[in-house]
């Protein structure tokens, strides 16, 4: 309910921000919309991560990590942020630090990013210091600032969700960063402590068990200093690339399956100007009808929560259809684009890995990175040739059986919206082939067009 409308807000803000026809004074307004949307997204993501940890569903992915290079990349990033505020940033690594340790790099970085971001946010003058030491398989990481400090009362509740210290003023933020850092530290079996004196800043100390990976093993894994140093920027791959306005070679065909019209249109507006041939479908059944008729897209983007059959079942049936056909000129790849963030971490039987799962709102650069990688594209800075508008799969409108039609008719005659929705859900469960018909009736019901629904029901009953 939160992610779906935010997908439209942030999605179109990204498109407008890249549109050269938008005048500069309007670009500023678009940037404000985007920042507001990103802040709301951070609230959602933070709350979701807290829920995952509390439910015991967040699992650590410990792998060899280039320890010193990771710390240096963070120091370089936050040195620029500090400089923008007129602050001095100091990185003090104790020597020697191990080249490679075993850890969940994403979570270690998340802890430090929250601590360093907080320190810079609340420090008006002076400096922020990052210290790192290592002994007996344990890393000690310290973040110290010269900000306003914390009172005893604030220290007592510093790690509570949404806690905001009075002495820290009105700096923006959700109040989840320190809570998340503390919970992740606990999840990793470490400890986090904080000490502070009002007016003299604060010191956060984190102690984590990060076993050393010996040089021979690190070499086998290809974790040299240069390779490891590059790992810090993987999350932003493509950010610094040349503009992507088209691609070399033949036109690729893409299919978007989503019951939300706004979300279908957003992907069309993003991808069609780049030269892709788009088809859209409002349900899994509509998409399967396209495939059964011989349509063979290069990539398919599937929503999960749809009437009739859900996204997982749509992919299963689509793979079966594609596997049964012979002589296809290319392989069809699948990706999930869904607001159901919890499903990203679930195992599935259709071969969707986390890299193939995009949680709404979608970051356009990440989606384009995935398309380029999976379809083997070479992007160009030249605009693509104009293509005809995207076509939508015709919805096969199959009416329910007379018994269910009459039960729905009774609810419509009463004008009882909730009862109507329950009856439509019952029809979807009993007769999935009627998904297109029930989707049309849901639209009418939400608009309180009960007279139109009554006429549609009368026509359907008459047809029997």
What is the per-residue pLDDT for 230? 38
Buried b / exposed e over 400-414, threshold 16 CB at 10 Å, is beeebbeebbebbee
Higher-pLDDT residue of 338 and 8 is 338
pTM across the whole model: 0.56
What is the per-residue pLDDT for 26? 87
Contacts of 123 (CB under 8 A, 6+ apart): 85, 87, 145, 146, 147, 201
Query: Which pLDDT band holds residue 92 (cuts at 50, 70, 90)?
Result: very high
Say if residue 237's pLDDT is above 60.
no
Say if residue 408's pLDDT is above 60.
yes
Two tokens at 116?
A: 């360093």
Query: Helical H runs in 327-416?
Result: 364-375, 402-414
Per-residue pLDDT of 53-73, as tens digits, reads 888 777 888 999 999 999 998
Two tokens at 401?
A: 């059986």
Share of the chain above pLDDT 70, in %: 86
Per-residue pLDDT of 270-299, as tens digits, reads 999 999 999 999 999 999 988 888 889 999
Q: Where in 258-343 does DSSP place strands (E)?
A: 277-281, 299-302, 333-338
Per-residue pLDDT of 156-182, as tens digits, reads 988 887 666 555 555 555 567 898 899
Q: 87-96, 123-132, 334-343, 359-368: lowest mean pLDDT where?
A: 334-343
What is the per-residue pLDDT for 258? 94
Higher-pLDDT residue of 196 and 221 is 196
Residue 328: closest CA among 341, 339, 318: 318
Cα–Cα distance between 432 and 457 in angstroms, integer? 18
Higher-pLDDT residue of 462 and 302 is 302
């Amino acid at each position: 309910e939160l992610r779906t409308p935010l997908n439209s807000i942030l999605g179109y803000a990204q498109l407008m921000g890249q549109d050269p026809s938008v005048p500069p004074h309007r670009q500023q307004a678009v940037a404000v919309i985007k920042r507001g949307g990103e802040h709301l997204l951070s609230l959602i993501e933070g709350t979701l991560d807290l829920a995952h940890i509390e439910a015991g569903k967040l699992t650590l992915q410990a792998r060899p990590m280039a320890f010193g290079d990771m710390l240096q990349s963070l120091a370089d990033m936050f040195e620029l942020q500090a400089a923008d505020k007129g602050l001095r940033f100091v990185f003090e690594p104790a020597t020697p630090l191990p080249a490679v340790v075993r850890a969940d790099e994403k979570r270690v970085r998340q802890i430090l990013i929250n601590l360093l971001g907080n320190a810079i946010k609340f420090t008006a003058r002076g400096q922020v210091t990052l210290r790192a030491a290592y002994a007996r398989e344990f890393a000690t990481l310290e973040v110290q600032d010269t900000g306003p400090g914390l009172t005893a009362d604030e220290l007592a509740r510093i790690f509570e969700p949404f806690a905001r210290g009075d002495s820290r003023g009105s700096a923006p933020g959700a109040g989840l960063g320190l809570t998340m850092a503390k919970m992740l530290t606990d999840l990793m079996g470490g400890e986090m402590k904080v000490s502070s004196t009002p007016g003299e800043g604060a010191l956060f100390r984190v102690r984590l068990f990060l076993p050393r990976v010996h040089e021979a093993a690190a070499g086998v894994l290809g974790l040299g200093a240069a390779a490891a140093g590059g790992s810090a920027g993987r999350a932003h791959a493509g950010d610094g690339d040349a503009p992507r306005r088209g691609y070399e070679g033949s036109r690729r065909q893409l299919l978007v399956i989503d019951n939300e019209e706004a979300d279908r249109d957003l992907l069309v507006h993003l991808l069609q100007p780049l030269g892709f041939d788009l088809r859209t479908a409002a349900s899994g059944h509509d998409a399967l009808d396209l495939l059964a008729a011989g349509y063979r897209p290069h990539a398919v983007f599937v929503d999960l929560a749809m009437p009739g059959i859900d996204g997982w079942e749509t992919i299963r049936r689509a793979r079966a259809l594609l596997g049964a056909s012979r002589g296809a000129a290319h392989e069809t790849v699948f990706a999930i684009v869904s607001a159901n963030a919890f499903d990203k971490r679930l195992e599935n039987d259709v071969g969707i890995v986390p890299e193939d799962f995009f949680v709404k709102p979608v970051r356009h650069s990440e989606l384009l990175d995935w398309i380029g990688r999976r379809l083997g594209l070479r992007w160009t800075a030249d605009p693509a040739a104009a293509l005809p508008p995207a076509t939508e799969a015709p919805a096969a409108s199959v009416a329910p059986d007379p018994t269910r039609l009459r039960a729905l008719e009774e609810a419509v005659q009463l004008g009882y919206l909730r009862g109507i929705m329950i009856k439509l859900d019952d029809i979807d469960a009993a007769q999935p082939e009627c998904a297109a018909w029930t989707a049309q009736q849901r639209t009418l019901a939400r608009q309180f067009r009960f007279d139109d629904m009554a006429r549609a029901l009368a026509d359907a009953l008459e047809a029997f």
